[in-house]
Amino acid sequence: MRIDPRLVQRLQTARRVVALTGAGISAESGIPTFRDAQSGLWARFRPEELATPEAFRRNPELVWDWYAWRRGLVARATPNPGHLALARLGTLVPDWLLVTQNVDGLHQRAGSRAVVELHGNIHRNKCFDEGVVVAEWRETGERPPRCPRCGGPLRPDVIWFGESLPAQALAQAEAAARGCQMLFSIGTSAAVFPAAQLPLTALQAGAMVVEVNKDPTPLTGIATFSLLGLAGEILSRLLEETWPA
Catalytically active residues, by annotation: 119
Q: Which of residues 153-212 bind ligand BV8 (CB under 6 A)?
A: 158-164, 187-189, 191-193, 195
In the complex, the smallest distance separating the C-beta of residue 222 from ligand BV8, rounded to whole angstroms, is 15
Comparing CB distances to ligand BV8, the nearer of 109 and 214 is: 214
Among 217, 223, 238, 239, binds ligand BV8 (CB under 6 A): 217
Secondary structure (DSSP) of 135-158 = ------S-SSPBPTTT-PBEEEEE
Residue nearest to ligand BV8 (CB): 24
Ramachandran sector of residue 242 (left: φ over 0; alpha: ψ -120 to 50; beta: rest): alpha
CB-CB contact of 11 with 121 (8 Å):
no
Binding of ligand BV8 at residue 24 (CB under 6 A)?
yes
In the complex, the smallest distance separating the C-beta of residue 36 from ligand BV8, rounded to whole angstroms, is 7
How far is the C-alpha of 144 from the C-alpha of 173, rounded, in Å?
Answer: 32
Contacts of 91 (CB under 8 A, 6+ apart): none
Binding of ligand BV8 at residue 28 (CB under 6 A)?
yes
In the complex, the smallest distance separating the C-beta of residue 46 from ligand BV8, rounded to whole angstroms, is 11
Strands (E), the chain: 16-21, 95-100, 115-117, 120-127, 154-158, 182-186, 208-213, 225-228
Number of residues interacting with ligand BV8: please give it, by CB under 6 A: 32
Binding of ligand BV8 at residue 22 (CB under 6 A)?
yes
In the complex, the smallest distance separating the C-beta of residue 110 from ligand BV8, rounded to whole angstroms, is 15
Comparing CB distances to ligand BV8, the nearer of 16 and 69 is: 69
In the complex, the smallest distance separating the C-beta of residue 65 from ligand BV8, rounded to whole angstroms, is 13
3-class secondary-structure state, position 124 = strand
Among 103, 127, 202, 219, binds ligand BV8 (CB under 6 A): 103
Among 7, 17, 20, 23, binds ligand BV8 (CB under 6 A): 23
**Residue 194 preceded by cis peptide, ω within 30:** yes
**Beta-sheet pairing, 115-117 with 120-127:** unpaired
Angle in degrees, 0-180, between the axes of helices 231-242 and 81-92, rounded to the nearest 10 = 30
**Beta-sheet pairing, 208-213 with 182-186:** parallel
Contacts to ligand BV8 by CB under 6 A: 22-24, 27-28, 33-35, 51, 101, 103, 119, 158-164, 187-189, 191-193, 195, 213-215, 217, 230-231
